[in-house]
Chains A and B, each alone.
Chain A
Amino acid sequence: MAADMTDTLSPYDSLPEHMRALVTDQVEHQGQLALHCLSADQRSMLEHFRTQQGYDFLVDVTAIDHLGMDQIERFEVVYVLRRLGENSQQFRLHVWLSEDSPDLPTVFDLWDSARWGERETHDMFGITFEGNPDLRRFLMPEDYPGFPLLKDYPLRGIGERRQFPRVVPRGDQMVEEEPADYPTSIGRGMHTPEYTEEVRRDSKPK
């Protein structure tokens, strides 16, 4: 578990003076550095790191939803940046984003890996990235109304996993009818004590 800070300057120290004011917080945990900034400064910070400091590898783009947790804003968009080569370094940039206007400028022109990273963040959280050429739904069906990873979205969903017909062959047709009782084994009474008794009775040696 090597620390990511080498002998070279940390990303914060290599920032020019006027940009250090944009960093609202610096958090270091287990040798990993996380810089925090606000959504208005996201594009300029990322451009600086890409063009001036040579962070040419965007490892991941993701987001955290802090609903009801009394943080600066609701969303925290995380960019994990890495510089390859001899003075290899890695750090994270956390961008605070409010829920009233959950959109950020895209960075797909700086790193192509942001195209799908932002697309997935949009699919899971509803954060739009202006300028991303392809923000269709990704992992969920394209007409899905919700964003699953929000904290007020239930784990078991809102009933969409039952919205299918039951396809059964009847005669020489395939018929659609209402889905079977859910779950099916409980619908057939297999969980009741009477059923267990019956099974026990039937399986006794004669």
Chain B
Amino acid sequence: MGLESLIGGEGFLTTTVNSIVNWGRKNALWPMPFGTACCAIEMMATFSGRYDISRFGAEVVRFSPRQADLLIVSGRISLKMMPVLQKIYRQMPEPKWVISMGACASCGGVFDTYTLIQGVDQFIPVDVYVPGCPPRPESLLDALLEIQNLVGEERLDSGKHGS
């Protein structure tokens, strides 16, 4: 019954540092919602009661970039907003991951106009793209699980996060 009986005996557990760190990181991602437009509403619906994101450990939504590690870019990014997005991205400490949610953030979406950035991945590195306009909350949860897989497969000595 419970973890103690599985471990048993003196209670030692052997694993690698990599696995434990990845397990800790992926099950407690702190999202930073960079919500601008319609996708932000679906993101808020994902954080709410019916499509609960706290089942996956990501319920601590932090609006300060210094305290977050998952940037969810949801909504269309215009010319004026791009420097703000880059500043927020710079302010986040490592390790950090980026979900580009929705069609507008991934590729410009419906709007191929003079003022809309045709995909934020030209200017910041993106890990997971979520298609949809807006994507259903289940799609965002799928993206979160995908990020968790990516985090689980990382190697600490890869130098990816500035180490």
Asked if B114 contacts A172 (CB within 8 A), the reply is: no
A140 smallest CB distance to B (angstroms): 7
Q: Interface on chain B toward A: helix, strand, loop, or mixed SS?
A: loop
Instruction: Please encode chain B, from 116 to 154, with 1 for each CB lying within 8 Å of some chain A CB and 0 for all others.
Output: 111101111100000000000000000000000000000
A172 touching B112 in the complex, CB below 8 Å, given contacts A166-B123, A182-B122? no
B16 smallest CB distance to A (angstroms): 24
The answer to whether the Cβ of B38 comes within 8 Å of any Cβ in the partner chain is: no
Out of A140, A153, A158, A168, which one reaches B125, CB within 8 Å? A168
A182 smallest CB distance to B (angstroms): 6
Q: Of B116, B122, B123, which is in contact with the most chain A CB atoms at under 10 Å from its CB? A: B122
Q: Of B90, B108, B114, B115, which is in contact with the most chain A CB atoms at under 10 Å from its CB? A: B114
Asked if A171 contacts B107 (CB within 8 A), the reply is: no
Q: Which residues of B contact A164 (CB under 8 A)?
A: 82-83, 86, 117, 122-123
A53 smallest CB distance to B (angstroms): 39
Within 8 A of B (CB), among A140-195: 140-141, 148, 153-158, 160-162, 164-169, 171-174, 179-180, 182-185
A141 touching B90 in the complex, CB below 8 Å, given contacts A161-B115, A184-B121? no
Per the CB 8 Å criterion, the residue count for chain A at the interface is: 28
Complex-state Cα separation, A185 to B94, whole angstroms: 26
Complex-state Cα separation, A205 to B119, whole angstroms: 33
Complex-state Cα separation, A82 to B88, whole angstroms: 45
Asked if A180 contacts B114 (CB within 8 A), the reply is: no
Asked if B119 contacts A171 (CB within 8 A), the reply is: no
The answer to whether the Cβ of B113 comes within 8 Å of any Cβ in the partner chain is: yes
Specify the chain B residue showing the minimal Cβ separation from A172. Answer: B162
Q: Interface on chain A toward B: helix, strand, loop, or mixed SS?
A: loop
Complex-state Cα separation, A109 to B154, whole angstroms: 63
Complex-state Cα separation, A165 to B122, whole angstroms: 9
Q: Of B80, B82, B117, B161, which is in contact with the most chain A CB atoms at under 10 Å from its CB? A: B80
Total inter-chain residue pairs, C-beta < 8 Å: 72
Complex-state Cα separation, A160 to B115, whole angstroms: 8
Asked if A155 contacts B112 (CB within 8 A), the reply is: yes
Specify the chain B residue showing the minimal Cβ separation from A185. Answer: B107
Q: Which residues of B contact A162 (CB under 8 A)?
A: 122
Asked if B114 contacts A156 (CB within 8 A), the reply is: yes
Asked if A141 contacts B123 (CB within 8 A), the reply is: no
Complex-state Cα separation, A180 to B118, whole angstroms: 12
Out of B89, B115, B119, B161, which one reaches A157, CB within 8 Å? B115
Complex-state Cα separation, A166 to B89, whole angstroms: 11
The answer to whether the Cβ of B159 comes within 8 Å of any Cβ in the partner chain is: yes
Complex-state Cα separation, A183 to B124, whole angstroms: 13
Asked if A179 contacts B122 (CB within 8 A), the reply is: yes
The answer to whether the Cβ of B1 comes within 8 Å of any Cβ in the partner chain is: no
Out of A141, A160, A169, A179, which one reaches B162, CB within 8 Å? A169
Asked if A182 contacts B118 (CB within 8 A), the reply is: yes
Q: Which residues of B contact A172 (CB under 8 A)?
A: 94, 162
Complex-state Cα separation, A157 to B112, whole angstroms: 9
Asked if B123 contacts A167 (CB within 8 A), the reply is: yes
Q: Of B79, B116, B117, which is in contact with the most chain A CB atoms at under 10 Å from its CB? A: B79
Q: Which residues of A contact B116 (CB under 8 A)?
A: 161
A181 smallest CB distance to B (angstroms): 8
Shortest 8 CB-CB contacts between residues of A and residues of B: A157-B114, A172-B162, A179-B122, A164-B123, A180-B122, A184-B121, A167-B86, A166-B123
